[in-house]
Amino acid sequence: MGKSLLIVESPAKAKTIGKYLGPDFEVRASIGHIIDLPKSSLGVDIKNSFTPEYVVIDGKQKIITELKKAAKGKDTIFLGSDPDREGEAIAWHIAQTLGESHNYQRVLLYELTPKAIREAIAHPVPISITRFESQQTRRILDRLMGYLISPLLWDKLKRGLSAGRVQSVALRLVVERERAIFAFNAEEYWTLTADFLVEGGPFSAQLNKIGTKKAELKTEAETAALVQELAELSFTVAELATKERKRYPLPPFTTSTLQQAAFNRLKMSSKRAMQVAQELYEGVDLTGEGRVGLITYMRTDSVRINGEVAGEALNYISQTFGRDFAPPTPNFYKKKKGAQDAHEAIRPTSVVRTPTQLKGQLENSHWQLYDLIWRRFVASQMTPTVLDQTTVDLKVGRCIFRTTGSVIRFKGFLILYALTQNEEKGFLPPLTKGLTLAVKEFKPKQHFTQPPPRFTEATLVKELEEKNIGRPSTYATIISTLKDKEYVEMAQGILTPTEMGFAVTDLLVKNFPDIMDVDFTAGLEENLDEIEEGRIEYDDVLARLYTPLARDLEAARAAMVNLKRDGLSSGVVCPDCAGPSGLNIRYGRNGFYLACPDCSATCNFERDDHGAPRPLARPPQKEVGVCEKCGSPIVVKKSRYGSFAACTGYPKCKNVKPLNSEVSGVEVEVPPLLPEGYPSVCEKCGQELVVKKNRQGSWFVTCSGYPKCKNAKPFPTE
């Protein structure tokens, strides 16, 4: 019997699997997709049910030739690309490319361990046409958005910009959050804390109620009056209650929660976290073991875990921490509404392969992420933390002050996976109901209400998941694109929209309201799930998007504002002419600026605390004479080709002149003379040749009849 052929998408994955399958299997890698939509054209036949026009990806023809050679003479070919929609599309395209003479079997590899690999090979499944169609629909949706809308942004704003079905909606969230911060008006409020010193030690309590209503102190005077009212009164312990409270462990990681935790705990970007997780899944060389897959597949929205593996975790917990830390049966977690639940949560492939054992064998970032995944999974199978939470109400006059304290009675899962917030609320001395206390000190403190926080990568991922925008496997790419296109800036982990981000969002929201709608985008994600489940046809979903897209596209071609020419209204009055139009935000070769359509004045700007554009003062212009046409001052200005003299009466007076000896007070850079014997007239039109300088600062020879005659040549050297 000859060798069997298994095709996966990654060389690293092929290396790991090849080690376990042995000489009976030949394992090859496609290195991702081998065919895709063309780069240079839309590649979708809209009139023919949105039929895609696939082409071989540049550089993949050699790989296809090698795969065909490897497949020759083999009846069954196993396709082991990643167990998700993208992997299904890779498998489908490989089968289509290699031809129908083979029997293709899909192998779903959720973890790269000997047992899991052999189990997957022993129980292959057919390629899923509906899962492939779901991925193909997403690809076509993204292509329609990108290739039809992006050129509009190039024409109206800047070449190289991009629009995306999910990317643009994610940008809208960031921009709208920034505008919510701009619109926020902080309100003053005060809190009042009372400090006490009793036999058991000091403690503090905060004002909770005034009369029967929740305490609300708005001003310093109001707070001071209350302090004066309570200063001579005694406090009495009115209520004292201690309750047992349990804090249950968190479920094992999904793609989304892993990205959030990696950012919050390790300061690792979503893109980097997914890259490291991919490498841990595909396999790492370990001393004494060789190449080993350390975690299960890292693209998942499921919290489901294998019962057998959960049992192994319980055994490990009992032996390591004691029986009190292991529940009698595994902990299982309820799946989130709308989750595909296609495969398990992210977990280590072996619980007994602890981070301590791997210390020094992995790169630091790989070890950190593995340690995080391992701890989260093992902790998810532990008993809850038990706390004694005490609440004390102190009555004084017409007010109630309250203090709480939590003491950990049993650590439970916190012994392994500490939470980011401090669970221990503080120590409380022994107190009894009816006890009278004298206040040591009142501490009033001023506060201001805070605006909604700007997004970090972690909170943006959380927001996208909660609103069902995109899929967790795409979040890292979305955020990376927003940064690469300079739609957002990132400083100290905070995402802030740039002027380009504001402009692109404003143009798209106004001209494509359906596609930029959060609910519309979330509905498309649900449609993709329904395609995979075989409940709707993929071309129906494409038609549902294309109908509003085509309508809005036609209107936008005529109505979308051109920021290079007209600009968006800034609401700022022109400081030069105070004209009715006001200043517009435009985009030029040097970035965004303000321009007046009434008098053509321009200036740079910055945004104030409320997001309104604020013109920056222009540097004073040097006056070098008086205009002989209108009597206005002549000043020095700069263009792309250098400095020149111009009348300040522009645009009514368009008098301009080169800087030469006639314009007094200006240092002149004299053009070099042409070598003796060099032609002085243009050989094409007979007009005089002159020497000029280009924008790079180099001299060149050109015809004085430009632009009718465009004869030009480099300045002659020796």
Q: What is the mean pLDDT of residues 443-458?
A: 96
Q: Is the pLDDT of residue 338 over 80?
A: no
pLDDT category at 406 given cuts 50, 70, 90 is confident
Q: What is the mean pLDDT of residues 540-553?
A: 90
- Give tens-digit pLDDT for 260-298: 999 999 999 999 999 999 999 999 999 888 889 999 999
Are β-strands 201-210 and 188-198 bridged in parallel, bridged antiparallel, or unpaired? antiparallel
pLDDT of residue 77: 93
The least confident of 394-408, 425-439, 658-672 is: 658-672
Q: Are 281 and 293 in contact (CB under 8 A)?
A: yes
Which class for 132: exposed (0-12), middle (13-18), buried (19 or more C-beta within 10 A)?
Answer: buried
pLDDT category at 480 given cuts 50, 70, 90 is very high
Q: What is the mean pLDDT of residues 572-577?
A: 86
Distances (CA, A) of 10 to 14, 27, 81, 278, 378: 6, 10, 8, 10, 29
pLDDT of residue 626: 86
Q: What is the mean pLDDT of residues 73-88?
A: 90
Q: What is the mean pLDDT of residues 413-429?
A: 71
pLDDT category at 661 given cuts 50, 70, 90 is very low
pLDDT category at 640 given cuts 50, 70, 90 is low
pLDDT category at 662 given cuts 50, 70, 90 is low
Identify the CATH assignment for 137-183+453-559 out of 3.40.50.150, 3.30.70.20, 1.10.460.10, 3.10.105.10: 1.10.460.10
d(CA 663, CA 643): 12
Q: Is the pLDDT of residue 638 over 80?
A: no
DSSP state of 348: B
User: Any idea which architecture 255-380 has in CATH?
Assistant: Orthogonal Bundle (1.10)
Helix, strand, coil percentages (3-state) for the chain, rounded to 5, are 35, 25, 40
Distances (CA, A) of 217 to 189, 191, 233, 504, 695: 6, 7, 20, 43, 64
pLDDT of residue 422: 42
Q: Are 504 and 561 in contact (CB under 8 A)?
A: no
Q: Are 341 and 405 in contact (CB under 8 A)?
A: no
User: Any idea which architecture 4-127 has in CATH?
Assistant: 3-Layer(aba) Sandwich (3.40)
Q: Is the pLDDT of residue 672 over 60?
A: yes
Are β-strands 188-198 and 441-448 bridged in parallel, bridged antiparallel, or unpaired? antiparallel
Residue 352 CB contacts under 8 Å (≥ 6 apart), including other chains: 312, 316
Bridge partner residues of 5 (DSSP):
26, 77
Distances (CA, A) of 477 to 38, 270, 483, 503, 712: 20, 8, 10, 22, 47
pLDDT of residue 669: 58
Q: What would the DSSP string read from start to end of 287-335?
A: TTTEEE--B--S--------HHHHHHHHHHHHHHH-GGGS-SS----PP
Q: Are 375 and 417 in contact (CB under 8 A)?
A: yes
Q: Is the pLDDT of residue 308 over 70?
A: yes
Structure tokens at 58: 């540049």
Structure tokens at 682: 């243009």
Q: Is the pLDDT of residue 621 over 80?
A: no
Q: Are 516 and 510 in contact (CB under 8 A)?
A: no
How much of the chain exceeds pLDDT 70, in percent? 96
pLDDT of residue 420: 57
How much of the chain exceeds pLDDT 90, in percent? 63
Q: Is the pLDDT of residue 345 over 80?
A: yes
Cis peptide before 126 (omega within 30 of 0): no
* Three-state DSSP class for residue 559: helix
- For residue 713, how far is the Cα from the chain centroid? 49
Q: Is the pLDDT of residue 705 over 90?
A: no
Distances (CA, A) of 713 to 637, 672, 682: 27, 15, 11
Q: What is the mean pLDDT of residues 225-236?
A: 95
pLDDT of residue 226: 97
- Give tens-digit pLDDT for 19-36: 888 788 899 999 999 999
Q: What is the mean pLDDT of residues 656-674?
A: 62
The least confident of 172-176, 229-233, 386-390, 703-707 is: 703-707
Which class for 438: exposed (0-12), middle (13-18), buried (19 or more C-beta within 10 A)?
Answer: exposed
Q: Are 163 and 508 in contact (CB under 8 A)?
A: yes
Q: What is the mean pLDDT of residues 589-597?
A: 91
pLDDT of residue 679: 85
DSSP state of 123: S
* Three-state DSSP class for residue 492: coil
d(CA 690, CA 702): 6
Q: What is the mean pLDDT of residues 468-495?
A: 92
Q: Is the pLDDT of residue 169 over 90?
A: yes
pLDDT of residue 290: 86
Sign of the four-CA dihedral 526, 529, 531, 534: negative
Q: Cα–Cα–Cα angle for 651, 656, 662, nearest 5°?
A: 150
User: Any idea which architecture 188-246+387-448 has in CATH?
Assistant: Distorted Sandwich (2.70)
DSSP state of 487: S
Average pLDDT, the chain: 90
Q: What is the mean pLDDT of residues 390-398?
A: 96
pLDDT of residue 441: 95
Q: What is the mean pLDDT of residues 455-462?
A: 95
> Nearest to residue 548, comparing CAs of 523, 512, 602?
512
d(CA 91, CA 111): 18
Which residues are designated catalytic? 297
Residue 67 CB contacts under 8 Å (≥ 6 apart), including other chains: 7, 28, 30, 34, 94, 97, 98
* 589 or 94: which leads in pLDDT: 94
d(CA 533, CA 131): 8
d(CA 617, CA 590): 17
Q: Are 237 and 403 in contact (CB under 8 A)?
A: no
Residue 710 CB contacts under 8 Å (≥ 6 apart), including other chains: 703
Show me where the domains of the chain are located.
Answer: 4-127, 137-183+453-559, 188-246+387-448, 255-380, 568-615, 671-718
* Three-state DSSP class for residue 79: strand
Structure tokens at 138: 């997403």
pLDDT category at 664 given cuts 50, 70, 90 is very low
- Give tens-digit pLDDT for 439-450: 999 999 999 999
Bridge partner residues of 521 (DSSP):
none
